[in-house]
Structure formats: C-alpha cells, structure tokens
Amino acid sequence: MGFMDKVNTISQKVGDGVVDTYKVIADKSGKMFEGAKIKMAISDKEEEVNNMYTEIGKAVYETYKKGEDVDKDLTKECKKIDKMNNELAEMNKEYLASKDLRECQKCSEIIPLTSAYCEKCGEKQTPLKFKKKEEKKEAENVKVERVCPTCGTICSSDAKFCNKCGYKF
C-alpha cells in the first residue's frame, strides 16, 4: 500500500469518526431540547392549575357572599383541574422518558426506563404507553436509520447490507 493509500484510509477513518460523533451529539442535543420543551410545558400547565385554584377560591367566595350553596358551582372547575392534573402526569412521564427514566408504578421511585422491576420495592413494571399527539406525525416522515450490530456504522433504513463491513441486515 502506497503512502497516498494510507493517507486516504486514515482520512476515511477520521471522517467516519467525525460523522459518528456528530450524529451522537445531534441525538443527545435533540433529547436535551425535547426535555427542556417538556419541562417548560409542565411549568406552564402547573401555572394554569394554580390559576384555576385561585379562580376556585374567588368562585367560592362570590358564591358564599351571595348566600348560595358552593358545592354545585365548583364541580365544573374541579373537573377542569382533574383534567389538567392528568395532562401534567402524562407530561411528567414523557419528560422522564426523554431522560431514559420512569416512575415506579407502586412506590413512585425514579428508575431506569428499561427496568422490568423496581429497584426499591421489587414491583414488576408494565410497559409505558403515551398518548398520541399531533407533533408525533412529524416523526412519521423521518427515515429511521439502522445501526450495524457488528461495526456500529449507521446505515439507511432500507439498507440490506452494512456499507462499512458488509453485515447482512
């Protein structure tokens, strides 16, 4: 092998390493962005719940001032808070999942997303299910890439063979 062939081989390896590193960094920064986005949505939803508590307080007082029964008027507002609390729970679940974590279904300990059993209480975990959102449609248009189990090269989703080592998918 000549000098130029060696230089080309080394350049190719360096280039492959740079591309792989870029893809890893892009994936991690994407996860960080998604986590921050979910965290902001959680904060907004919590503020909305707190505003509802304030509105309930005002409604109770106004109803009380009128000498009316408070229970009937508050049912509607309480149902709104129940709905928002359910949305918050779903958002928190998504946020933890973006960090490859989940909450134990029995003791609420934060555990790895892939845990089959809780490390603290031993409870068997069922797979998480997420509510579908409109934003998820964007992900359907993205091509999924394959990672070669032999050499780690990222190949296109329709590849039948690894373009680096020849592994058959």
> In angstroms, what CA-CA distances link 156 with 16, 107, 121, 163, 167?
15, 42, 42, 9, 13
Q: Is 65 within 8 Å of 73 (Cβ atoms)?
A: no
pLDDT tens digit at each of 169 positions of the chain:
677 787 778 778 777 777 778 788 877 787 888 888 888 999 999 999 999 889 888 888 787 788 777 776 677 777 788 898 899 999 999 899 989 999 999 999 999 998 999 999 999 999 888 776 544 444 445 456 788 888 778 888 888 888 888 889 8
| Domain residue ranges of the chain, discontinuous segments joined by + | 31-99, 132-169
Give helix then strand counts, H and E, for the chain: 3, 4
- At 113, give phi and psi (nearest 5°): -55, -35
CA-to-CA distance for 137 and 132, rounded, in angstroms?
9
**What pLDDT, on a 0 to 100 scale, did the predictor assign at position 144?**
65
Terminal alpha carbon distance of the chain? 31
The token duo for 84 is: 């928002």
